[in-house]
Amino acid sequence: MWPGPEEGADAFGDPHAWQRQVSAFGEQYQSLMQEAFNRLWPSDAGASVYADMQESLRIGAEAMVVNAPAVYTVQMRLAQDQLRVWQNALRELMGESVPAVIEPSPEDRRFRDDAWHSHPFYRYILQQYLLFVRAVNELLANLGGLTPQTRHQLEFYARQYVNALSPSNFVSTNPEVVRKTLETRGQNLVEGLKRLREDLANSAEGLNVAMSDRSAFRLGENLAITPGEVIFENELMQLIQYHPSTDKVFKTPLLIVPPWINKYYVLDLRPDNSLVKWLVAQGHTVFMISWRNPGPEQRHLTWADYMQLGPIAAMGAIEQACGEKSVNLLSYCIGGTLAATTVAYLTSSLRGRKIRSVTYMATLQDFSDPGEIGVFLSEPVLAGIERQLDRDGYLDGRVMAFSFNLLRENDLFWSFYISNYLKGEAPAAFDLLYWNTDGTNLPAGTHGWYLRHMYRENRLVEPGGIELDGVKINLRKISTPSYFVSARDDHIAKWRSSYLGARLPKGPVTFVLSGSGHIAGIVNPPAKRKYGYWTHDEIFDEPDAWLEAATFQEGSWWPHWQAWMTDNRYADPGKVVAARHPGEGELTSIEPAPGRYVRQTIPEVLGVASTSEGEAGS
Q: Which residues pair with 237 in a beta bridge?
A: 291
pLDDT value of position 613 = 41
pLDDT value of position 9 = 42
Neighbours of 425 (CB within 10 A): 16
Burial class (CB in 10 A: 0-12, 13-18, 19+), 235: exposed
- CA angle in degrees (0–180, nearest 5) for 501-505-509: 85
Q: Which of 230, 329, 333, 444 is catalytic?
A: 333
Name, in order, each residue with C-beta under 8 angstroms of 346's C-beta and a sequence gap of 6 or more: 312, 352, 354, 355
Q: Which amino acid is at 271?
A: P
Residues of the chain predicted below pLDDT 50: 1-11, 611-618
Yes or no: say if 421 and 190 are a contact pair by the CB < 8 Å rule: no
Neighbours of 464 (CB within 10 A): 11
Q: Whole-angstrom distance between the N-terminal and C-terminal Cα of the chain? A: 42
Yes or no: say if 79 and 132 are a contact pair by the CB < 8 Å rule: no
Global pTM?
Answer: 0.89
pLDDT value of position 618 = 35
Of the CA atoms within 13 Å of residue 3, those in its CB half-sphere come to 17
Digit-coded pLDDT (tens) for 560-593: 999 999 999 999 999 999 999 999 999 999 999 9
pLDDT value of position 223 = 95
Q: How far apart are CA 294 and CA 310, in angstroms?
A: 14
pLDDT value of position 1 = 36
Q: H/E element holding 330?
A: strand 327-332
Of the CA atoms within 13 Å of residue 366, those in its CB half-sphere come to 16
Beta strand 533-536 with 509-514 is antiparallel
Q: Provide DSSP, 312-350.
A: IHHHHHHHHHH--S-EEEEEETHHHHHHHHHHHHHHHTT
Q: How far apart are CA 585 and CA 365, in angstroms?
A: 36
333 an active-site residue?
yes
